[in-house]
Amino acid sequence: MKEFFKYLINGIFKENPVLVLMIGLCSVLAVSTTVENAIGMGLAFSFVMIFSNLFVSSLRPIIPNNIRIPIFIVVIATFTTIVDLIISAYFPELYKALGIFIPLIVVNCIIIGRAEGFAYKHNVVESLADGVGISIGYIWAIVALGLIREFLGSGTVLDKVIIQSFNPAKVFSMPPGAFWGIALLMGILKWVQQKISRR
Partner 1 sequence: MKNLLRYGLTLMLICGIAAGVLAFTYERTQKIIALNKIREKENLLKEMLPKATKFVMLSNTPKANDSSVKIHEIYVGKNIESIVGTVWEVSTYGYSSEIFLLVALSTDKKIEKIKILSQQETPGLGTEITKRDFLDQFIGKNTPNLEVNKNIMPVSGATISSSAVVRAINEVLRHNGL
Interface with partner 1 (CB under 8 A): 59, 62-64, 66-67, 70-71, 74-75, 77-78, 81-82, 85-86, 88-90, 92, 170, 173-174
- Looking at the Cβ atoms of 20 and 63, the one nearer to partner 1 is 63
Q: State in angstroms the smallest separation of the CB of 105 from partner 1.
A: 15
**Residues paired with residue 156 on neighbouring β-strands, in sequence order:** 161
Q: State in angstroms the smallest separation of the CB of 185 from partner 1.
A: 22
- Looking at the Cβ atoms of 3 and 93, the one nearer to partner 1 is 93
Q: DSSP string of 99-168?
A: GGGTGGGGG-HHHHHHIIIIITTS-HHHHHHHHHHHHHHHHHHHHHHHHHHHHHHHSEETTEE--TT---
Q: State in angstroms the smallest separation of the CB of 12 from partner 1.
A: 30
Bridge-based pairing state of the strands 160-161 and 156-157: antiparallel
Q: State in angstroms the smallest separation of the CB of 78 from partner 1.
A: 4
- Looking at the Cβ atoms of 1 and 64, the one nearer to partner 1 is 64
Q: State in angstroms the smallest separation of the CB of 67 from partner 1.
A: 5
- Looking at the Cβ atoms of 16 and 37, the one nearer to partner 1 is 37
- Looking at the Cβ atoms of 171 and 192, the one nearer to partner 1 is 171
Best CA proximity match to 72, nearest among 54, 49, 56, 50: 56
CB 173 within 8 A of CB 166: no
Tell me the C-alpha distance between 126 and 148, whole Å. Answer: 33
